[in-house]
Amino acid sequence: MAQSAMEKPDGEALDVSLQLEALREQLLGLKADMEEMKKAGSENKLSMIVFSGDLDKVLAAFIIATGAVAMGMDVVMFFTFWGTPTLRDKNKSVGGKDLMGKMFGTMLPKGIDGVKLSKMNMGGMGTKMMKSLMKRKNVASLEEMIQMAGEFGVRVCVCEMSMDLMGFKHEEMIDYPDLTYCGVATFLDEAAGSRIQLFI
């Protein structure tokens, strides 16, 4: 009896069935892998590198950080290079620095009062105008934002390498509730499980 064109031999039908089953297993495996990746990267955390020492950028960093904490996120800010001097306390002085440390200490801003706008600074006039405008518009100052961040539980980590390069010492940094000193490996460990990573 002639075989219909629509019919397939039992062996061929079995092959297709096995292929479909194998494909189904592969898809299930991929789905499981995606779920694991999703779990690994979905921790409700914001990890932020603060590289800039400009007033507008550091202010934006703390606004984002406090906003994220208010939304229930865990937040860690990693201050490195030009962001580091922002955290110096203008009222603290330490001795025992070498020549390069003294030079960096003199040339770089000491604390939040010394930071300037990234654009339209105009020899300091633009920064003064911005601070005055912020006060008139009831926008929190950088000092107030840092204080708020500390109260909200924003964690601040200062790069040890930047501290060493610029000759800064732990004793001259601001008093902040959750300030620690760490290296890049610590930040990367924090960032690896964070939902959001930012570079400012």
Question: DSSP states of 93-117 as a string?
Answer: ------HHHHHHHHHS--SGGG---
Residue whose C-alpha is closest to residue 68's, from 34, 90, 85, 43: 43
Residue 72 within a domain: yes
- pLDDT for the residue numbered 13: 66
Q: Are 67 and 86 in a shared domain?
A: yes
Q: Are 110 and 14 in a shared domain?
A: no
pTM: 0.76
Residue 4 within a domain: no
Q: Are 33 and 56 in a shared domain?
A: no
- pLDDT for the residue numbered 23: 73
Q: Are 78 and 27 in a shared domain?
A: no
In the sheet that holds 194-199, the strands lie side by side as 179-182, 155-159, 74-79, 43-50, 194-199
Residue 74 within a domain: yes
Q: What is the pLDDT along the chain (200 residues), one digit of tens a residue?
A: 445 445 555 666 667 777 777 777 877 777 776 666 555 556 899 999 999 999 999 999 999 999 999 999 999 999 999 999 999 998 888 888 888 888 888 888 888 888 899 999 898 899 989 989 989 999 899 999 999 999 999 999 999 999 999 999 999 999 999 899 999 999 999 999 899 999 99
- pLDDT for the residue numbered 42: 60
- pLDDT for the residue numbered 7: 52
Q: Which domain holds residue 24?
A: 9-40
- pLDDT for the residue numbered 5: 47
Residue 128 CA from chain centroid, whole number:
28
Q: Are 50 and 16 in a shared domain?
A: no
